[in-house]
Chain A
Amino acid sequence: MTLAWPRVVGPRVDARDKATGATRYSADVESEGALHAAVVRSTVPHAEVLAVDASAALAIRGVTAVVTARDLERRFGDELCGRRVRDMPLLARDKVRFPGEGIAVVLATTRRVAEDAAALVVVEYRELPPVLDALGALEPDAPRVHESPWRYDGAVVDPSDPPNLQSGLVEGDLVAVDEVLGRAAHVVTRTYRTPSGYQGYLEPQCWTASPRPGGGVALLGTAKAPYRLREQTAKTLGLALDAVEVEPAPLGGDFGGKGGVVDPTLCAALALWANRPVRLALRAGEDMTATDARHPSVVEVRVGCDADGTLLALRVDAVFDGGAYAAVKPIPSANLHGMAECALGYRLEAFFVRSRIAYTTTVPKGHMRAPGAPQAVFAIESALDELASAAGVSPVVLRRRSVLAGGDRDAYGHVWDEARGTETLDAALAAGDAAPRPKDRGRSGWRRPAPSGWRRGRGVALYARPTAPPATTSLRLAPGDDGRLVVELPFPETGTGSHSVVREELAASLGVDPERVEVRQVSTASLPYDPGVGASRVTVGLTAAVRQLAGRWSESGGTEAVTIETGSGTEPPALSFCAQVADVAVDPETGQVLVLGVVTAADVASVLRPRSHRMQIDGGAVMGYGFACLEDLLEGDGQVWATNLAEFRLPTAQDVPSLRTVLVEGGRGVGPANVKAVGELSNVPTAAAIANAVAEATGRRFRQLPLTAERVFWALHGEAGEEAGEEAGEEAGEEAGEEAGEEAGEEEGPA
């Protein structure tokens, strides 16, 4: 149905509670008589566990038990756990495969006692050769992380694969791509590297499991996909689906990190084992080092164009470090969708993409905001600048020649009715050339000054992303007190404003005051299946579902509760482009890179909540900036060395570049609300835009993130850099500025 009333954008439904401390997050919910769990974690990357001595821990007042894998196996059997590939035990059995892997759990009456006691558990190891490098892991003689990974339930590999392959993805035509590249006028082949990272939400994961009186277990906690968690917990513990109830709480940030099933399933198992409520609250450091970091990557790009700079073919060969288990990856391929779509933005005669993820003895790698895309796009969009340089055209001209336009067929064979690559690119460039406006950031028109004497550069990068049609979800609408309407949702508010969208869409659909609509998230016992939040699908699916719900409500007379379950949409996807222009200044004496500003042009259809929409774009650009310049978990020797937020630095309010957003409006989206995805858009091209700007500023190409001052310094100052030779290439981006414009805003005095 169409909207009965115009949509009224009011304050967020969750704003007042969040601003007064009333919102109850997972860690804020009391559970009477709960035992507190503290996990004893491996200190080594790869070892046999010979013995676990818990005697000292058990002697501590307040400790009720120390639970090992054996205890759980006796009760629940030996099912492994995982979102798709079920390869991870709840606690390590005879072997640990990464530092941080759980070996035992101390249960105690307080959290402090549990943690103190966990530190007293002594584990005896016999160390095995670690597997620390993803490329090396795929060599035939590499030590095995798993003996027979193809035997795991959900495995996507077979015995003929390299020893530690976790998943592989191949698209395109290798023969054709080599043939086309063979006749290209210009070809560059370059390798790019990115480090592992942390999603950076500020709410550590937290779970409370309670045995239910009638059997089964209720789980409350940081669940982005409650129904999928229910399924995996039930399967792992040998329970019926309805014996597990998952109640989501508002999420204090997710960014892909809160879909894990192993920790909550462990918590549920402990509660059933102890027959008491159990709380498993991770400390921030545990969350960073032992859950699901972003995949580090090594991406080789081979790309060619003809004499005038028209792209011909793209070949991408990526190897990702998948860590010790595939268990946290949610998609059936156990690969990364950013890789599956990485050749999307341009007209190409041929392409070939291979993405291999290797098992290593490091923390399992999971999803982080557009998984795989920031890594792939950093590599490809950097390589395009290098190709432009080789071909003697500007990076902008090179992109304009080949970016998808309406009616074009993409590399995968899909014909897009609407593809606004050029419009989006031009909008970003125009905004980059315009003077700063007072409203660009806060209202005082704040803009980072460029210190005098620093070299300036500007870079551009593009990203294309499809928005899928509405996915399955469910909703319930019931009459509440005082003429209110209560709408129940199957998933938590992550902060995107999804619950506010539901309220406003429903109010507009039914022609009622939004104040009359109350939005509640409910447990998995209450509604039919929903796949959870993520993949920029929430707004698309919800708006479609809300209209269906409103229609049914009106048909039924609006007196009794109505539940709906939507199927997947069949309409074609929409395509969004995101173009970014980054202006940087580089201190030639120290190598420091100051990102002065990032302009984001986003290709949009309808915007339902303008401020929420803008925050998705701003927050994404800042995350992209962090990926480009700051963030590195510093994995080495199998350990994560950046173990807390003092060492893994997130961008602060004063670190961030000046941000400007321009919307390329009027696009065709999907679903009845005509929307395009925005959540996983602006964080993707930022690193390449910045790296391209630094290349212009310095005449050096940086192919490894983050762009630290030290990396830039050694590239500029040659001598001592062991790292410098390899990563700073011979190619300078001298011509890069021509089209992008040299001047980036006004020159200001020294900082």
Chain B
Amino acid sequence: MTDPPSGEAAFLVPGTVEAAVEALGAAGAVAVAGGTSIGLLVGQGLLAPSVLVWLGRIPELSVLEEGDGQMSIGATTTLATLAAHPRVRTAVPALADAAASVGNTRVRAVATIGGALGHADPRQDLPPALLALDARVEVAGGRGRRHLAIDELIDGFMSTDLGPDEVITAVRVPLVDGRRSCYLRFTPGSADDYPTVAVAATAEVADGVPTAVRLAIGGAGPAAYLVPEAEQVEGAPEGRWAAEVAEVAEAAARRADPVDDRLGSAAYKRRMVAVWARRALERCLGADGVQP
């Protein structure tokens, strides 16, 4: 007689990051934060961990504070907390809007920023927003702490640069005076669905002239990606950047590497990247009359 595959697992509740890292050194150990992704994988029989390391009782990971020109968001900060945070909403609305868009009320109530990034699903809302905002991720592991850009952390389809004994500890988002940001997701079927494509844009606009323009795209490749051509818009005089925006939007579409799935064909998603990239830039730059 043998035991069924989904047998007993140890459940550990470390109180510090160091203890969590040590616990994750065991074979078959998996970090759990909000538990929505892990709960889904375990429930569907796709994951049979031998050790669950719950990060929900580590004080360091739940910090959400401003300092040194940045917002430090502890890894176990929930998406609901992020979406409702007054400073996040005013300073980095793209992040608040992305957090408010994930899943449903129940998911947002428990899912965490660290867990979302660790899951690395290309249809997720947070990666494009954080990429556009030039956020950096702090990771702790057996080799100490290191810092990664979003597109260094998420290095492919459902894949991260994290070692087996590493955990995300915090996400740091620069706070820049006068920076605008917006996040738009295209859900033409059900609003609760994953986006067909998602676009985040940030820019600083002084006297109508944009600088520091960043554009990131989600849902249209194995991972969210930046569109470096966005800098073409920089310096264009007020209201005179329509041609540049159109070019950047086409560049964003050229960089897309989407797949055919139920959310749309690759060809359609590519076209939608161009439309929504343009809309996000316009929104961010104020072209549609809406001040972000």
Contacts and interface: CB of A to CB of B under 8 A. Distances in A.
Instruction: Judge: A and B partners, yes or no.
Output: yes
Contacts of B264: 709-710
Contacts of B5: 116, 119-120
Interface stretch (A180-188, A393-401, A504-512, A646-654): A646-654
Nearest to B45: A119
Interface in A628-650: 629-630, 632, 634, 641-642, 646-647, 649-650
Contacts of B196: 709
A589 B275 contact: yes
A24 interface: no
Contact of A590 (B1, B191, B275, B288): B275
A510 to B, nearest CB: 47
B1 A60 contact: yes
B100 to A, nearest CB: 13
A717 interface: yes
B272 interface: yes
A709 B188 contact: yes
B193 interface: yes
B271 interface: yes
A62 interface: yes
A255 B192 CA distance: 24
A61 B262 contact: no
Interface residues of B, number: 25
A654 B186 CA distance: 15
Contact of A115 (B45, B191, B271, B275): B45
Contacts of A641: 262
B190 A61 contact: no
Interface in B248-280: 262, 264-265, 267-268, 271-272, 275
B4 interface: yes
B262 A642 contact: yes
A454 interface: no
A649 B189 contact: yes
Q: How large is the interface on A (under 10, 10 to 19, 20 to 34, 35 or more residues)?
A: 35 or more
A112 B3 CA distance: 11
A590 B3 CA distance: 52
Contacts of B4: 60-62, 112-113, 116-117
Contacts of A651: 190
Nearest to A630: B189
Contacts of B186: 590, 592
B2 interface: yes
A642 B262 CA distance: 8
Contacts of A536: none
A641 B262 CA distance: 9
Given A112-B4, A713-B268, A713-B271, A649 B188 contact: no
Nearest to A110: B4
B232 interface: no
A59 B2 contact: yes
B283 to A, nearest CB: 10
A240 to B, nearest CB: 39
Contact of B265 (A647, A710, A717): A710
B188 A116 contact: no
A7 B100 CA distance: 48
18 contacts: A59-B1, A60-B3, A61-B1, A113-B4, A116-B4, A120-B5, A592-B188, A629-B189, A632-B262, A646-B193, A649-B192, A650-B190, A654-B192, A709-B196, A710-B264, A720-B267, A720-B268, A720-B271
Q: Which 10 residue pairs across A and B have the least CB separation, nearest first? A: A709-B188, A116-B4, A592-B188, A649-B190, A61-B1, A710-B268, A720-B267, A113-B4, A710-B264, A655-B190
Interface of B: 1-6, 45, 186, 188-193, 196, 262, 264-265, 267-268, 271-272, 275, 288, 290
Interface of A: 59-62, 112-113, 115-117, 119-120, 589-593, 629-630, 632, 634, 641-642, 646-647, 649-652, 654-655, 708-710, 713-714, 717, 720, 750
Given A630-B190, A649-B190, 8 more contacts: A112-B6, A113-B4, A116-B4, A120-B5, A634-B262, A650-B190, A708-B188, A750-B288
